[in-house]
């Protein structure tokens, strides 16, 4: 032993031993149990340390790879399980200071030069040290070493290293910060902590936090950082800064510095030397030498708001508001914008302005949400110090307008909410820069602008000073400016804000505002309109403003005070006489050529005001009987037949023609308003009692024609522009959208008075403006405003559209004409010949179409001559080369039109249109398809055609098709066309598109045959012809006749198989249910027997082609077996029995072969649900036919083992498992019903064996999952008698096994959610079904041990939802089915439920801070919690003892949520009796409370979760209150 010791020691210290050998020997000595050294671990660690120390002190020369391996060796020791075990057992291993200094030096070198030599190994050593508390003590005992290391680590990260170093570096930073925070809390000397943080850590920590907040490392890339780690490091940095810079012990120093107070009675221990903490922090913050200038500015901006928030978190309490304010100007002074002089706006770029303004916004938000500013206290006690500071900020913002930056608007909004007097001295400039003259285009900026304007109007509305505000608005509009460069005054955002304000104003203020606008218009604009384009533009702006005021005031009614009504009437008369008529007088002399700009704008303003006046006048006349319009009463006998609007009294018809002449030369606001005036005239005419007269009808037709014709040229050209819906923003680009919106919105008024040509024009516009492609629909959805496509789409999907019969019929005809023209363009023969062959493609007139087909229906007699003509024509074309060949572009165009057709109500078409559409779709389906992408595009096209044909035949006029064609003819045409087309489809038989086509065609053919039976359409004749046709379609053999179709492809065989399957299915069910007439007793059964024989032969041929069973084959063989068995047992008459007995054995071999093959292929079919369903259907039928069972072996055991293979498949996804289990359940139910007790014992043995924990220990997850799924399947089957008794006798063993399995699954890292979820499902099912059977309460109580260990942390949203819902299901099962057990174990029940409550609250908080996409999941879980609380509240007497426990647990969690604490206190301190009527805040009140509590509004988007949580609190409180009363 001594020799071993001396040899190793000598060789490690020997200069003659190579370093390669030394490292090998050291490694061997560490891992070998045969090497005995006193204190071996310490000796080896010291040897490596000494070697590295000697190398870095230049006392030893080593190669780079040797140095690297020495570091790796130390790392291996530090991370070894052996060392961890030694330390746990109490053995001491010391790390020397020299090693720590070398580590710090290496990291400092890396942070300074970026040299990555050995850095990964060094970082791993650090990680090993900090991961082991016994080793980390060397850092925590030497605070300066810890501070130095942490500083260098942060500086290293600030250099943004790339690659694998990044994640490792941040792991070390995370660990180091955790140890330093513990050290910081234990430090009794706040001066030292402050000095360490400000002197060494402040700058790198602020840079690092800024970079992490910007997502520098969390984006996808080689140095990607986990978001959770990034968030944790940011949180640690903030805690470090708060604990180091803003300690409670430093409050007196901050007061001394900020409030300039001398405190003579300072107690012992108070800091006397640290007199300027704010100056110290700010000096370190603004020091420009610690990073690049560009980065420095961003770091300062992001850090200012952070430091102020931490300051408030530490020192904000009652009485300290002024102290907290005093820190604000000091920190604000760090920002660059605070030092800008007037006119220096360009000193900062837009990105710099965004950064700086975001910081200002956060500072002001902190002031607003923490109630720092009290107007009265500031004025009385502090001489308006705060007010003057906010005024300086406001002046700075207004003098340096930044309208493109959303934060600029938000800062102004906060200042307005603090005190409107802050902005009032600059109100005109504010209105100019933020509204009237602002150039705002980006959506987010528009939203911020809208919120500011809304706040502005709401503030002045509360102050009853809206006229004062409007006075400023009018002053800005009317002052000299380049009007052409201004945006519309009332775009969507400002208009929305203004409308919301006006609706809440009393009539007096509305009338004051209205009069003010009129006065300014008359005094400042109207006299100077002649030949002045700028004034004309101002007139248009004022008109828009006046329109908004008049349209959004509270409507008068008879209950209004009479002075208000009279004043309104006087204002209306004044507007008509003093404004409208003078404006119209300016348009008396329209120019012969194109009108000048000022004339166009004056005409626009005039038309807008005229429409506004007419609309308001009509509304007032209708709603208020005491209002007397100068236009006369709305109702009466006389109807004016003039062709011009009469809603403006005293205006001659010739003047309106002059206005029309001006507006007709431009697509502008004036033309749109004239259309509105004509529409008003139509509505007024319709209100007259004589509106049904001939004169009134002519007037209405003229007005409707004018409205439609006014914008016909613009709609012909089309536009891609979008309109925000505000009348003031109608311009030449947006006029087509506004015009089309006007027409579509008033179709019910216009359509009755439009001629057929106009209706056809409307239909053509509708079809042309519909977004056809997915790309067009996607771009339209992204645009929040109105577009032509959106208006047309809304009309198409409107339930009103089919009710407008003339337009609906015209639209149907438009689609027919468009589709027919595309089909005709693909004709390769003479169009004259095509017109004779397919005449329905050339019918374009609605009335002719209706007359033609009604005539054909009348001629269609029982002889079928008329029917055979169309069918024979089509069939002859299909058998030859069809005369229409469609290329790729034509197929794409038709596909887009078919998408439109699919949105129509095809089930309600009239018979002529029904037949026309059927023939059109059939023509598309049988056309020859030629395109390069034939396999995908053509298949999808055919799928759509036959889907629509099926939908059509489900309609009310389906019978009309059979007046033109027999069902058998349609069957033959469709199948012949598809069989020929299958030769050119270059796809495999299992191609998804091809399988979809097979399914759709099969459904359509089945639908046709069902209609033969339902409508009794010559049943024997049609089925006989169908079977005769199918009998000719045999597989090609040398003996096949010339008439037989030569089908060689697999696709053709599948088509035939689907057709025969559907025939057997329909005919079989019909024969099974019907009673044959005496004259033809055996015709249909014989036809069915022929179909069965033919299907069996084809199945034998198709099944023998490949190793795997095709999807169509599985469905066919299942149907064949079902029909075969039905025929065999249907009738016991001798002749029928003989036929059946001969048929069944002929296919028995086929059935047995399929059965054998399915047993091996069943797991592979799970991914294809239709195939799997057909396979299970076959197996179920086979199991129920004992005569088919193989003579050797147990069929139950064979099928059971096949089912087990399916359940044990680990690759099966959760969704597939969810789809498969019901299908397996049906099979399993039949097996258990027919099986013996021995068979059932096999199932139970498999379940109990699979649940054995040994499988988990052997990592055989497949066996465990199989057993759990099998048990779930077993519980879904109805059991009775001995089988049920055996199951419930084994229940205690099952629950115990589930508990052990769950415990093992929860110990895995990560947690085996795939096992935990199914265990909870099975547990819930056991508890529900065992309500009467489980007698021992202990076995129910075991469920609580499972629930209490279920992991709910660090799960993905989908996993979290799955586990949460299952836990809730188990708890609810106990609550409902085992109430006595629950009452005996209330603490366990409440602890389990408390786990759900805590989880959903914490998850809601996480989503509040991060991504909100998963909030619906959390909201659903929160509602389940609320429902459970409701249930508990209804049984409050059972929880009397534990209700305080419930409340205490809930409130403990809520205390951690600042945004809910105030609400909770309100509920808990209130009388529950007073809360019965309104147990929860309204959504608006709750949202407001959330905004106030969360500061920056971050919690608003999760208000749904909070609302449910508050409801939970109500239920808890009510329950507690009832119980205490009891």
Encode pLDDT of 1025-1055 as tens digits.
999 998 888 654 334 444 334 444 678 888 9
Tokens standing for 849? 């179409």
Q: Is 369 exposed, middle or buried (0-12, 13-18, 19+ CB in 10 A)?
A: middle
- Residue that wins the pLDDT comparison between 340 and 1485: 340
- Whether pLDDT at 402 is above 70: yes
In the prediction, which pLDDT does 1519 show?
Answer: 45
In the prediction, which pLDDT does 865 show?
Answer: 44
Terminal CA-CA length for the chain: 80
Q: Which residues contact 952 (CB under 8 A, 6 or more apart)?
A: 906, 907, 909, 914, 917, 918, 921, 958
Of 28-37, 478-487, 958-967, 1479-1488, the one with minimum mean pLDDT is 1479-1488
- Whether pLDDT at 559 is above 50: yes
- Residue that wins the pLDDT comparison between 1295 and 647: 1295
**pLDDT per residue over 1356-1394, tens digit each?**
888 888 888 888 899 888 888 888 887 777 778 888 888
Tokens standing for 737? 């959208």
- The answer to whether the Cα torsion of 664, 668, 672, 677 is positive or negative is negative
Q: Cβ of 1106: how many Cβ atoms within 10 Å?
A: 12
Best CA proximity match to 1047, nearest among 973, 953, 982, 1120: 982
- Residue by residue, DSSP assigns 626-646 as T---TT--S--S-----SS--
Beta-ladder partners of 929? 886
Question: Which spans in 190-347 are helix H?
Answer: 190-196, 202-213, 227-245, 251-259, 277-286, 293-315, 321-332
In the prediction, which pLDDT does 750 show?
Answer: 94
- CA–CA gap between residue 484 and residue 507 (Å, rounded): 34
Of 86-90, 515-519, 995-999, the one with minimum mean pLDDT is 86-90
Q: Average pLDDT of the chain?
A: 81
pLDDT band at 1469 (very low <50, low <70, confident <90, very high): very low
The H-or-E segment that residue 97 falls in is: helix 97-113
- CA–CA gap between residue 974 and residue 1058 (Å, rounded): 13
- CA–CA gap between residue 1096 and residue 455 (Å, rounded): 78
pLDDT band at 1355 (very low <50, low <70, confident <90, very high): confident
Range 485-508 average pLDDT = 87
- Whether pLDDT at 57 is above 90: no
- Whether pLDDT at 1477 is above 60: no
**pLDDT per residue over 213-244, tens digit each?**
887 776 544 445 677 788 889 999 999 999 99
- CA–CA gap between residue 386 and residue 380 (Å, rounded): 12
Long-range contacts (CB closer than 8 Å, 24 or more residues apart) made by 462-471: 463/420, 464/509, 466/501, 466/505, 466/509, 466/512, 466/513, 467/509, 467/512, 467/513, 467/516, 469/427, 470/513, 470/516, 470/517, 471/516
Cβ atoms 1306, 1351 nearer than 8 A: yes
Of 899-908, 946-955, 1433-1442, 1475-1484, the one with minimum mean pLDDT is 1475-1484
pLDDT band at 1481 (very low <50, low <70, confident <90, very high): very low
Q: Which residues contact 368 (CB under 8 A, 6 or more apart)?
A: 414, 417, 418
In angstroms, the Cα distances linking 57 to 54, 98, 104, 154, 766 are 5, 11, 14, 26, 86
In angstroms, the Cα distances linking 408 to 359, 396, 1055, 1320 are 11, 11, 67, 53
What is the maximum alpha-carbon separation in the chain?
A: 131
Of 149-153, 405-409, 974-978, 1468-1472, the one with minimum mean pLDDT is 1468-1472
Of 329-338, 433-442, 822-831, 1034-1043, the one with minimum mean pLDDT is 1034-1043
Cβ atoms 1117, 1154 nearer than 8 A: yes
- Whether pLDDT at 1216 is above 70: no
Place of tokens 């490596």: 48
In the prediction, which pLDDT does 1468 show?
Answer: 39
- Whether pLDDT at 638 is above 50: no
Range 328-348 average pLDDT = 81
- Whether pLDDT at 646 is above 80: no
Of 657-666, 1004-1013, 1112-1121, the one with minimum mean pLDDT is 657-666
Q: Let me know the angle formed at the C-alpha of 901 by 898 and 906, rounded to the nearest 5 degrees.
A: 135
- CA–CA gap between residue 223 and residue 634 (Å, rounded): 75
Tokens standing for 365? 């938000």
- Residue that wins the pLDDT comparison between 871 and 184: 184
Angle between helices 406-418 and 350-369 (to 10 degrees): 30
Best CA proximity match to 707, nearest among 672, 741, 731, 683: 672
Tokens standing for 934? 């034939």
* Structure letter (DSSP) for residue 524: I
Range 578-594 average pLDDT = 81
Number of H helices and number of E strands within the chain?
A: 71, 2
Cβ atoms 750, 707 nearer than 8 A: yes
In the prediction, which pLDDT does 366 show?
Answer: 94
Kindly provide the b/e burial profile for residues 829-865, where b requires at least 16 CB atoms within 10 angstroms of the residue's own CB.
eeeeebeebbebbebeebeebbebbeebeeebeeebe
- CA–CA gap between residue 122 and residue 344 (Å, rounded): 50
- CA–CA gap between residue 200 and residue 150 (Å, rounded): 9
- Residue by residue, DSSP assigns 384-448 as THHHHHHHHHHHHHHHT--TT-HHHHHHHHHHHHH-GGGTGGGHHHHHIIIIIT----SHHHHHH
Cβ atoms 892, 937 nearer than 8 A: yes
CA quadruple 1167, 1171, 1173, 1175: dihedral, nearest 10: -110
Q: Cβ of 159: how many Cβ atoms within 10 Å?
A: 14
In the prediction, which pLDDT does 1044 show?
Answer: 39
For residue 1022, cis peptide bond before it (omega within 30 degrees of 0): no
The H-or-E segment that residue 929 falls in is: strand 928-929
In the prediction, which pLDDT does 452 show?
Answer: 94
Place of tokens 């071993």: 4
In the prediction, which pLDDT does 714 show?
Answer: 86
Secondary structure of 1315-1327 in HEC code, one letter for each residue: HHHHHHHHHHHHH
- Residue that wins the pLDDT comparison between 694 and 764: 764
């Amino acid at each position: 032993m001594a020799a071993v010791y001396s040899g190793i020691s000598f060789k490690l210290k020997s200069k003659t031993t190579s370093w390669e050998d030394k490292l090998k020997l050291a490694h061997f000595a560490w891992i070998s149990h045969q090497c005995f050294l006193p204190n071996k671990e310490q000796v080896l660690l010291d040897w490596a340390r000494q070697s590295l120390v000697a190398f870095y002190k230049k006392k030893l020369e080593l190669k780079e790879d040797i140095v690297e391996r020495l570091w790796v060796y130390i790392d291996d020791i530090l991370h070894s399980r052996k060392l961890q075990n030694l330390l746990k057992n109490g053995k001491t291993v010391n790390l020397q200071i020299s090693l720590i200094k070398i580590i710090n030096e290496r990291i400092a070198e890396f942070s300074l030069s970026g040299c990555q030599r050995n850095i990964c190994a060094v970082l791993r050593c650090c990680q090993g040290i900090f991961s082991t508390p016994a080793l980390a003590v060397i850092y925590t005992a030497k605070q300066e070493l810890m501070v130095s290391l942490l500083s260098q680590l942060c500086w290293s990260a600030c250099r943004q290293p790339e690659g694998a170093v990044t994640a490792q570096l941040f792991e070390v930073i995370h660990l180091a910060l955790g140890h330093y925070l513990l050290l910081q809390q234990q430090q009794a000397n706040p001066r030292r902590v402050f000095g360490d943080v400000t002197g060494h850590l402040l700058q790198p920590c602020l840079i690092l936090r800024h970079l992490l907040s910007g997502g520098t490392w969390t984006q996808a890339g080689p140095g990607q950082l986990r978001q959770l780690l990034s968030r944790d490091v940011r949180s640690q940095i903030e805690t470090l800064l708060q604990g180091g810079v803003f300690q409670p012990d430093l409050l007196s120093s901050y007061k001394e510095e900020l409030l300039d107070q001398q405190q003579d009675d300072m107690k012992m221990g108070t800091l006397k030397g640290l007199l300027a903490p704010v100056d110290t922090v700010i000096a370190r913050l603004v020091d420009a030498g610690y990073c690049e200038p560009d980065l420095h500015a961003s770091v300062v901006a992001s850090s200012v708001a952070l430091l102020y928030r931490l300051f408030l978190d530490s020192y904000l309490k009652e009485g300290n508001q002024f102290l907290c304010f005093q820190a604000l100007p000091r920190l604000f002074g760090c920002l660059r914008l605070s030092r800008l002089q007037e006119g220096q706006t360009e000193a900062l770029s837009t990105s710099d302005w965004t950064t700086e303004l975001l910081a200002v916004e956060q500072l002001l938000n902190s002031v607003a949400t923490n109630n720092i500013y009290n107007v009265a206290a500031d004025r009385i006690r502090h001489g308006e110090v705060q007010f003057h500071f906010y005024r300086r900020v406001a002046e700075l913002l207004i003098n340096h307008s930044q309208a493109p930056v959303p934060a600029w608007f938000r800062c102004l909004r906060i200042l307005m909410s603090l005190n409107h007097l802050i902005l009032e001295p600059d109100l005109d400039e504010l209105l100019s820069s933020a509204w009237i003259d602002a150039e705002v285009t980006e959506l987010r900026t528009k939203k911020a602008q809208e919120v500011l304007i809304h706040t502005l109007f709401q503030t002045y509305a509360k102050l009853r000073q809206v006229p004062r505000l409007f006075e400023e608005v009018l002053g800005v509009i009317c002052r000299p400016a380049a009007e052409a460069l201004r945006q519309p005054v009332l775009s969507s955002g400002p208009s929305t804000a203004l409308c919301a304000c006006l609706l809440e104003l009393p009539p007096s203020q509305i009338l004051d505002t209205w009069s003010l606008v009129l006065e300014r218009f008359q005094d400042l604009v109207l006299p100077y309109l002649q030949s002045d384009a700028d004034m004309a533009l101002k007139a248009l702006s004022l008109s828009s403003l006046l329109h908004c005021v008049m349209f959004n005031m509270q409507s008068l009614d008879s209950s209004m005070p009479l002075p208000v009504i009279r004043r309104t009437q006087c204002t209306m008369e004044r507007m008509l006489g003093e404004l409208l008529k003078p404006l119209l007088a300016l348009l008396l002399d329209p120019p012969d050529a194109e009108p000048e700009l000022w004339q166009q704008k004056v005409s626009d303003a005039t038309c807008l005001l005229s429409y506004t006046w007419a609309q308001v006048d009509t509304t007032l006349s209708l709603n208020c009987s005491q209002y007397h319009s100068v236009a006369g009463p709305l109702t009466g006998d006389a109807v004016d037949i003039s062709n011009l609007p009469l809603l403006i009294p005293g205006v001659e018809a010739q003047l309106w023609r002059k206005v029309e002449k001006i507006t007709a030369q431009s697509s502008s606001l004036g033309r749109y308003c004239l259309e509105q005036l004509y529409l008003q005239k139509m509505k007024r005419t319709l209100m007259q009692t004589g509106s049904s007269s001939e004169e009134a009808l002519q007037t209405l037709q003229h007005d409707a024609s004018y409205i439609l014709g006014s914008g016909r040229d613009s709609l012909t050209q089309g536009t891609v522009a979008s309109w925000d819906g505000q009348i003031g923003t109608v311009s030449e680009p947006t006029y087509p959208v506004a015009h089309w919106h006007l027409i579509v919105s008033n179709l019910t008024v216009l359509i009755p008075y439009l001629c057929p040509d106009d209706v056809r024009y409307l239909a053509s516009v509708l079809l042309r403006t519909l977004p056809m492609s997915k790309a067009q629909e996607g771009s339209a959805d992204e645009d929040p405003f109105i577009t032509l496509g959106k208006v047309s789409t809304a009309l198409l999907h409107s339930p009103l559209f089919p009710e407008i019969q003339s337009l609906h019929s015209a639209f149907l005809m438009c689609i027919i004409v468009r589709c027919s023209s595309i089909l005709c363009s693909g004709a390769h023969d003479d169009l004259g010949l095509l017109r004779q062959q397919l005449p329905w493609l050339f019918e374009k007139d609605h009335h002719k179409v209706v007359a033609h087909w009604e005539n054909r229906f009348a001629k269609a007699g029982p002889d079928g001559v008329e029917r055979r003509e169309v069918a024979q024509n089509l069939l002859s074309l299909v058998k030859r080369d069809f005369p229409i060949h469609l290329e790729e572009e034509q197929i794409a165009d038709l596909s887009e039109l078919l998408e439109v057709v699919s949105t129509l109500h095809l089930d309600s078409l009239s018979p002529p249109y029904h037949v026309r559409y059927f023939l059109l779709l059939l023509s598309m389906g049988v056309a020859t398809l030629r395109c390069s992408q034939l396999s995908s595009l053509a298949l999808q096209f055919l799928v759509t055609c036959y889907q629509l044909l099926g939908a059509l035949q489900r309609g009310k006029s389906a019978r009309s098709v059979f007046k033109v064609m027999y069902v058998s003819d349609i069957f033959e045409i469709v199948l012949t066309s598809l069989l020929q087309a299958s030769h050119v489809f270059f796809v495999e038989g299992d191609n998804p598109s091809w399988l979809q086509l097979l399914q759709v065609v099969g459904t359509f053919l089945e639908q046709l045959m069902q209609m033969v039976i339902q409508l009794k359409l010559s049943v024997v004749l049609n089925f006989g012809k169908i079977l005769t046709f199918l009998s000719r379609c045999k597989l090609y053999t040398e003996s096949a006749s010339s008439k037989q179709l030569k089908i060689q492809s697999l696709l053709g065989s599948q088509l035939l198989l689907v057709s025969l399957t559907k025939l057997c299915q329909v005919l079989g069910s019909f024969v099974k249910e019907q009673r044959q007439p005496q004259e033809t007793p055996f015709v249909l059964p014989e036809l069915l027997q022929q179909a069965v024989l033919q299907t069996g032969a084809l199945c034998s041929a198709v099944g023998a082609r490949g190793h795997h069973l095709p999807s169509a084959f599985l469905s066919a063989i299942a149907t064949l077996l079902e029909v075969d068995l039905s025929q065999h047992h249907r009738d016991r008459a001798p002749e029928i029995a003989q036929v059946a007995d001969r048929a069944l054995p002929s296919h028995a071999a086929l059935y047995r072969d399929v059965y054998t093959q399915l047993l091996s292929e069943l797991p592979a079919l799970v991914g294809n649900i239709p195939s799997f369903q057909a396979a299970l259907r076959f197996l179920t039928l086979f199991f129920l036919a004992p005569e088919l069972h193989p003579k050797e072996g147990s069929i139950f055991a064979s099928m059971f083992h096949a089912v087990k293979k399916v359940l044990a498949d680990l690759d099966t996804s959760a969704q597939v498992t969810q789809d498969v289990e019901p299908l397996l359940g049906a099979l399993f139910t039949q097996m258990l019903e027919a099986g013996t007790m021995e068979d059932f014992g096999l199932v139970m043995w498999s379940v109990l064996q699979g649940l054995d924990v040994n499988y988990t220990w052997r990592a055989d997850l497949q066996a465990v999952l199989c057993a759990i799924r099998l048990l779930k399947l077993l519980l879904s089957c109805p059991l009775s008698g001995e089988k049920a008794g055996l199951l419930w006798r084994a229940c205690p063993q099952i629950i115990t096994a589930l508990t052990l399995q769950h415990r093992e699954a929860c110990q895995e890292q990560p947690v085996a959610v795939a096992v935990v979820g199914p265990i909870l499902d099975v547990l819930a099912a056991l508890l529900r079904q065992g309500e009467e059977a489980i007698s021992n309460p202990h076995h129910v109580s075991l469920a609580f041990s499972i629930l209490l260990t279920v992991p709910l942390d660090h799960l993905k949203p989908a996993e979290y939802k799955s586990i949460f819902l299952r836990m809730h299901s188990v708890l609810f099962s106990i609550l409902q089915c085992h109430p006595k057990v629950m009452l005996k174990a209330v603490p366990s029940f409440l602890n389990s439920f408390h786990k759900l409550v805590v989880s959903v609250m914490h998850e809601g908080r996480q989503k509040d801070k991060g991504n909100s996409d998963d909030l619906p999941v959390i909201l659903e879980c929160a509602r389940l919690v609320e429902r459970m609380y409701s249930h508990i509240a209804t049984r409050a007497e059972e929880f009397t003892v534990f209700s305080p426990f419930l409340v205490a647990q809930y409130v403990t969690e809520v205390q951690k949520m600042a945004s809910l604490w105030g609400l909770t206190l309100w509920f808990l301190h209130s009388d529950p009796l007073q809360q019965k009527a309104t147990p929860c805040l309204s959504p608006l009140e709750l949202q407001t409370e959330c905004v106030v509590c969360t500061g920056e509004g971050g919690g608003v988007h999760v208000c749904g979760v909070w609302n449910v949580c508050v409801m939970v609190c109500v239920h808890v409180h009510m329950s507690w209150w009832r119980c205490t009363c009891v």
